[in-house]
């Protein structure tokens, strides 16, 4: 009598086991290997925010698709007509992303209103739309502190992880955990004071794992203008742009591989032999 296979073991049957590309020497990965000559071409990036102004010079007319999600009398309403940015925030994020990955495909998923406020169920619907419509990366420069949405957003973050959709999330600007930035399955980002768009750091004490420029940065805004502003919101799209650039060259990476690559490329991750060692005052003493 043959015992039945345990649940979830089928993918590891020799008859169907998939052979995958190996990444050699993860800690020796270089920027040239990661994104050299990549423009992010073919990578679909959802900016889940207040909308994206396609006509802004920083966006360059390149918004491939739209959806504005609102609450109606009979439930959620999905409008896929081209729309404006009702605040400027989404355009700022899109402009940063395109500055790093100029040929990525931007999709504007508008879930925020004119005062940059929104509802948790609309936010969750925006993420679900992105997953159902084949986005490779989602920029989430927003979140919620409301515990009522913890489970729903956690399920969506896990679903994104299993589908290899990268959720790049901004940490809360206030010292309060926000969702989904505290989940292990997302790429959580906070701001540092540098201005080199490729300079980012790794934090060995998550939930916020990466730091990118977001303090007094010049960003695109409404009506074709620019502002200088500060916030974790503007750090996240720097990482989103880098992720899109990497995926443009290595399209089959998983989320956990991407985290490993970002870790290897972080400016504060150095080989052991390059670390400064404290002087031992007692060297040579008996």
CA nearest to 176, candidates 217, 207, 204: 207
Expressed in percent and rounded to 5, the helix, strand and coil fractions of the chain are 30, 20, 50
- What is the reported pLDDT for 132? 98
- What is the rounded CA–CA span in Å between residue 17 and residue 187? 29
Instruction: Give pLDDT, residue 283.
Output: 42
pLDDT of residue 285: 42
Summarize the confidence of residues 127-146 as an average pLDDT: 97
Would 272 be classed as within a structural domain?
Answer: no
Asked if residue 284 is part of any domain, the answer here is no
Number of structural domains found in the chain: 1
| Cα separation, 218 vs 238, whole angstroms | 12
Domain range for 95: 38-267
| Residue 4 to residue 1: CA distance in whole angstroms | 9
In which band, very low, low, confident or very high, does the pLDDT at 12 lie, cut at 50, 70 and 90? confident
**Distance between CA atoms of residues 238 and 198, nearest Å:** 8
Beta-bridge partners for 198? none
| Residue 185's CATH number | 3.40.50.200
Task: Specify if 206 maps to a domain.
Answer: yes
Question: pLDDT digit string (tens) for 207-227?
Answer: 999 999 999 999 999 999 999
Give the pLDDT confidence score for residue 105 in this predicted structure.
98
Question: What average pLDDT does this structure show over 119-145?
Answer: 97
Q: Looking at the domain assignment, is residue 279 inside a domain?
A: no
Looking at the predicted structure, is the pLDDT value of residue 103 above 90?
yes
Q: Check residue 286 and give its pLDDT.
A: 36
Instruction: Read off the pLDDT of each residue in 96-125 and give the average, rounded to a whole number.
Output: 96
The residue among 223, 220, 203 whose CA lies nearest residue 212 is 203
Q: Predicted confidence band at 1 (pLDDT cuts at 50, 70, 90)?
A: low
Domain annotation covers residue 24: no
Is residue 68 within 8 A of residue 61, CB to CB? The reply is: no
283 found inside a domain = no
> What dihedral angle (degrees, nearest 10) is formed by the CA atoms of 51, 56, 59, 62?
80
Instruction: With respect to residue 19, please indicate whether it lies within any of the assigned structural domains.
Output: no
Whether residue 9 lies inside any domain: the answer is no
- 112-134: average pLDDT: 95
- Distance, CA of 170 to CA of 140 (rounded, Å): 6
Contact 187, 164 (CB under 8 A): no
Residue-level pLDDT at 14: 84
Average pLDDT over residues 54-82: 95
Mean pLDDT confidence for 161-175: 96
Render pLDDT for 221-268 as a digit per residue (tens, 0 to 9).
Answer: 999 999 999 999 999 999 999 999 999 999 999 999 999 999 999 989
CA distance 242 to 97: 8
pLDDT of residue 86: 96
């Amino acid at each position: 009598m043959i015992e039945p296979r345990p649940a979830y073991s089928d993918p590891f049957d020799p008859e169907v086991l998939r052979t995958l590309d190996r990444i050699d020497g993860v800690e020796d990965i270089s920027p040239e290997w990661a994104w050299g000559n990549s423009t992010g071409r073919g990578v679909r990036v959802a900016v889940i925010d207040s909308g994206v102004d396609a006509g802004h010079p920083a966006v360059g007319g390149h918004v491939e698709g739209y959806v504005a999600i609102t609450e109606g009398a009979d439930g959620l309403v999905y409008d896929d007509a081209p729309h404006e940015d009702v605040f400027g925030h989404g355009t700022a994020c899109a402009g940063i992303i395109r500055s790093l990955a100029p040929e990525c495909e931007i999709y504007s998923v508008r879930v925020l209103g004119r005062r940059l406020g929104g509802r948790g169920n609309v936010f969750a619907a925006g993420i679900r739309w992105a997953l159902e419509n084949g986005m490779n990366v989602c920029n989430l420069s927003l979140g919620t502190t409301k515990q009522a949405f913890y489970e729903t957003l956690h399920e969506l973050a896990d679903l994104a992880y299993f589908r290899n959709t990268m959720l790049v999330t901004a940490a809360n600007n206030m010292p309060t955990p926000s969702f989904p930035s505290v989940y292990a399955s997302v790429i959580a980002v906070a701001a540092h004071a540098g201005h080199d768009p490729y300079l980012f750091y790794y934090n060995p004490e998550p939930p916020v794992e990466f730091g990118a420029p977001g303090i007094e940065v010049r960003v695109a805004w409404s009506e074709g203008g620019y502002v200088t502003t500060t916030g974790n919101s503007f750090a996240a799209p720097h990482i989103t742009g880098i992720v899109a650039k990497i995926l443009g060259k290595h399209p089959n990476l998983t989320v956990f591989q991407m985290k490993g690559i970002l870790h290897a490329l972080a400016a504060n991750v150095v080989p052991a032999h390059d670390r400064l060692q404290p002087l031992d005052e007692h060297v040579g003493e008996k």
